[in-house]
Amino acid sequence: MQSVLYHALELFGLCLGIHVLVWRTCPVRNQGIRLGLIFLVLPVFALGAGFAATVGEIQWLTWGLGYVLHFALSGSYIFFYTAVSGASPSIAILERVENNMPHGLRRSDLVPEWFTDARLSGARRENLLATGFIRQSDGVLVLSLRGWLIAMCFLMFRRFLGLPDVAKG
């Protein structure tokens, strides 16, 4: 069973290396699709090519289980990556306070120039426009059908969990 773990880590490490290489060399338009292709689709083709090239020599079950573990790890990474790569006001506050340690920071000094409309919502707005979840019409942002479906799914899930509607304040 150790070999399953090793194969999963080999696949994940290879995909992570490819992701970093692609991320540093190519501009990003739709990160979710790119991450899915690199982490979920590319290993299937690589394993298929490996199986075809070495018929009978590869342990099918070990690599298959390794891919299942890699799939779970990659799914977690893909969802976590979007949270880490986005701008976070909480992280900005932590960094600002940390930069002023050990004395700390007065609350009045907390609001940096970082908290502008462009920094807080600009990147998210541009991402939603690029992915087609919203569109701009006469200076007004409008939901597309895809955007409405996503919004409704999350709204229903939040209501199911008993969480408040975010957009209402």
What is the predicted pLDDT for the residue at 8?
A: 85
CA 80 – CA 88 distance, rounded (Å): 13
Q: For 27-36, write each residue's pLDDT tens digit.
A: 666 677 788 8
Q: Indicate if the pLDDT at residue 169 is higher than 60.
A: no
CA 10 – CA 15 distance, rounded (Å): 9
Q: For 85-128, write each residue's pLDDT tens digit.
A: 666 677 777 777 788 888 877 777 777 666 677 767 777 788 78
What is the predicted pLDDT for the residue at 54?
A: 65
What is the predicted pLDDT for the residue at 168?
A: 63
pLDDT band of residue 56 (cuts 50, 70, 90) is low
User: To the nearest whole number, what is the mean pLDDT of the chain?
Assistant: 78
What is the predicted pLDDT for the residue at 53?
A: 65
What is the predicted pLDDT for the residue at 154?
A: 82
Count of Cβ atoms closer than 10 Å to residue 42 Cβ: 16
> Taking the domains of the chain in order of start, what are their residue ranges?
2-85
Write the CA distances from 26 to 10, 22, 55, 84, 141, integer angstroms. 24, 6, 36, 19, 28
pLDDT: which is higher, 39 or 58: 39
Cα four-point dihedral sign 5, 76, 12, 44:
positive
Contact 108, 96 (CB under 8 A): no
Beta strands, E only, the chain? 134-137, 140-143
